[in-house]
Amino acid sequence: MSDVYLYGMVTPSIVHILREDFAFPSANGYAEVKAVLMSVGGEAANSAVILAKLGLSTRLDGNWLHRQRAEQVFGLLERFGIDLSRLTLVDNGGTDEFVVADKISRTVFGNYATFHTGPRQWNEPRADDIRDARIVCLDPYFHGESRRVAELCVEMDKPYVTLDCEFDDYMAQNAAAVVVSHELRDRVYLGQDQRQLFERYQSHCRGLTIFTFGHEPLWYGRASEAMRQFQPYAIDPVDTTGAGDAFRGAIAYGLLQGHDDEETVGFASAVAANVCLSYPHALNAPGLEAILSFIANARAQ
C-alpha cells in the first residue's frame, strides 16, 4: 500500500550550480561554476521526493536505469523512504543528464531524444500498484503505457495528476488535475491565444486545469468556471531545477488532503518556491512544517 503511486521519469543527474554573479553564457562565453552535485532528475522522481517530505508514502515506477548509474539514484532516494522496488536495472540504455543552473534558468543536456525515439525502456504499469494507491502522479511520456495508467485510474476511480498533455489527450481529459507549462505551450501551441487555449483545456478536461508561467501569475480553473490567477511567491532563487515537478507533486498532495483549488494552488506554489531556494532539484527542499511556516510568514508581510 502507498499513498501515492508515481509512474514516470527517473534520471541520474549531475547539476552544475553557477556562481551567483554569473548567468548561463552565450556561445563561446564563460561562466564560473560554484558547485557540482550528484542528483536525481525526472518529473516522477522529484514529485516523489516532495511527497515523501510532506509525509506521504510513495511508490516510484517508470523508465529503466543503467546499472552503472543506479547506485546514485538509489542512494539519493532511499533516504526518503520512497519505495523503489519497481525500478528495473539494465546493462544498456537508460536516461542520463547534466544540468547547468543559474539563479533564473536551468539548461539540461541529456539523451532524452534518443531515449524517447528508440525501443521501449520503461516498465509496464501494474494494476495492483494503482489499486493500492490513494492518488497517482502520471508522466505522459511513455506512449501507450502512460495512457494505460490513466485508463486504469479511470476504471478504478482513482484520481491522478498529470502534466504537459495536449488538451485533446485522454490523459489530460480524465485527470483530477493537469499542469501545463509554458515549455509545452511554446512547443505545441506557439502563437495561439493563451486565454482561448486555456478555455479549450477547461472545456475538454474534467478536472482542474493549471497553466504555469514561471514567476508570472499562474492560471487555474475547472470547466464552466471563470479562470483565476495566483501570483507565485516573490523569492530570490538559487536553482529552479525541479520546481515544476515539485509543484505537480504538491498539487496531488492538496487534492489528497481535500483542499479547495485556491488552497491547493497556493500550497503548491509555496512548495515550488522552496525548491527554488535549495539545490539540487528537490533533494534539499524543506518538509511540511517549514512550508507552512513559509506560507504564514508570506501572508504576514
pLDDT band at 26 (very low <50, low <70, confident <90, very high): very high
- Rounded mean pLDDT of 73-79? 96
Q: Which CATH class is domain 2-11+47-95+112-300?
A: alpha beta
Query: Could you give the angle at the alpha carbon of 158 between the alpha carbons of 149 and 87, nearest 5°?
Result: 40
DSSP secondary structure of the chain: -EEEEEEE--EEEEEEEEPTT-----TT----EEEEEEEEESHHHHHHHHHHHTT--EEEEEB-EEHHHHHHHHHHHGGGT-B-TT--EESS----EEEEE-SS-EEEEESHHHHHHSS--BPPP-HHHHHTEEEEEE-S-SHHHHHHHHHHHHHHT--EEEES--TTSHHHHT-SEEEE-HHHHHHHSTTS-HHHHHHHHHHH-SSEEEEEETTEEEEEE-TTS--EEEPPPP---S--TTHHHHHHHHHHHHHHTT--HHHHHHHHHHHHHHHHTSSSTTTT---HHHHHHHHHHHHH-
Residue 295 has a pLDDT of 94
Domain edges within the chain: 2-11+47-95+112-300
How far is the CA of 229 from the CAs of 133, 197, 220, in angstroms? Answer: 31, 15, 6
pLDDT at 250 over 80: yes
pLDDT at 301 over 80: no
Residue 163 has a pLDDT of 98
- Rounded mean pLDDT of 270-281? 94
pTM summary value: 0.94
Q: Residue 64's closest CA among 115, 116, 106, 123? A: 123
140-176 tens-digit pLDDT: 999 999 999 999 999 999 999 999 999 999 999 999 9
| Whole-angstrom distance, CA of residue 16 vs CA of residue 37 | 7
Residue 118 has a pLDDT of 86
